Amino acid sequence: MLENNLIGRGRRLRKNELIRELVCETKMSKKSLIYPIFLKTGNNVLEEIPSLLGQYHYSVDRVCEGIATSIDAGVDKFILFGAIEEMQKDEFGSNASNEDGIIQQALREIKGQFKDKVQLITDVCMCEYTSHGHCGVLNQCTKSVDNDETLKRLREIALSHVEFGADILAPSDMMDGRVLAIRNALDDAGHKELPIMSYSVKYSSSFYNPFRDAVDSEPAFGDRKSYQMDYHNVREALREASTDTIEGADILMVKPALSYLDVISKVKNITNSPVAAYSVSGEYAMIKNAGLAGIINEYDVMRETATSIYRAGADILISYFAKELAQAMEKGDM
Ligand code: PBG
């Protein structure tokens, strides 16, 4: 074949900005972004989180400031997390379902002010509220997390989040049967229309460490490997995704995102449900800190990594960079 008669001249479609825009395969919208918000016990708290520079702890009385800033930046969907004092924790994570629990108060506060201008997603889990830091109720003899006892607590937590205004529930504990348990609890209580975004495929990952520092949820003993997934496995991820779909999950989430692009892509291939990816705290912290150290360009790497997650198949992205990504998308920079 002659050199001047190549089969494909890929560079034709890379010639200039406008033609690149035309053939761009991954088109992203700020409407698909979810921003994590961290609540903290106390009054008048607005503190930068040391393990997550650029992210803040808000007390309930100031959380609306964080919400307003995000809305200004173009993000109106949030996932809420709570950091409470050690003395507020107990074995059953009671604060997670108390009517004066931190998430319940925050839901009331934010919904009171912003009503339906925001979508509030809540993390249905116990680890931020238990004295032992595990995601469920412990079996007193074996000290391992008791699956079916935990389901009872998850139902209570879910119902209390809905009572105070949650728009979407996101169970993140990785117990078997939790989606079905929560779905049934919601339906029985008349909340048939309330969606569940399941953390379907959640790996046991060291990328969560900055988050655990932020909410003080490191397990007091052992690890989470008996409930979160082993990162060597991908067929297991598909089983989890299928099970959650059958149990009634409306949105399937893969977490973490960056080291799991293959998983996102495979889950996407087997489902017709929306797929969410959670780009977790460790992913953010690595980019943030390498950027601050002048080793990489934070803005460029943020855009490249977020694009790769969408390219892998994510329809929805949960990211600590949500505000900056929304701005970049608005500017046509993605
Ligand atoms: C709670 C929960 C965790 C994260 C989200 N929900 C921590 C964990 O499972 O240990 C991690 C989020 C992040 O790292 O950004 N179960």
Quote the pLDDT of residue 4. 72
Quote the pLDDT of residue 2. 66
Separation of CA 215 and ligand 1 centre (Å) = 9
What is the C-alpha to C-alpha distance for residues 96 and 153, in angstroms, rounded to an integer? 9
Among 124, 78, 158, 148, smallest CA distance to 326 is for: 78
Best mutation site among 125, 202, 207, 287 for ligand 1 pocket (most ligand atoms within 8 Å of CB): 125
Separation of CA 2 and ligand 1 centre (Å) = 56
Three-class SS of residue 172?
A: coil
Over 212-234, what HEC string results?
A: HHHHCCCCCCCCCCCCCECCCCC
Among 183, 218, 220, smallest CA distance to 198 is for: 183
Q: Which residues have a catalytic role annotated?
A: 202, 255
What Rg do the C-alpha atoms of the chain give, in angstroms? 21
Among 202, 184, 194, smallest CA distance to 247 is for: 184
pTM score: 0.97
Please give the helix or strand (H or E) that residue 210 lies within, else none.
helix 209-215
The contacts of residue 239 (CB under 8 Å, 6+ apart) are none
Separation of CA 228 and ligand 1 centre (Å) = 11
Average pLDDT, consecutive stretches of 10 residues, N- to C-terminus, the chain (334 residues): 76 95 95 98 98 98 98 98 96 96 98 98 96 95 94 98 98 97 98 98 98 94 95 98 98 98 98 98 98 98 98 98 98 94
Quote the pLDDT of residue 204. 97
Cβ of residue 120 lying under 6 Å from some atom of ligand 1: no
Quote the pLDDT of residue 5. 72
Quote the pLDDT of residue 1. 62
Quote the pLDDT of residue 48. 98
Nearest atom in ligand 1 to 281's CA: 15
Quote the pLDDT of residue 8. 83
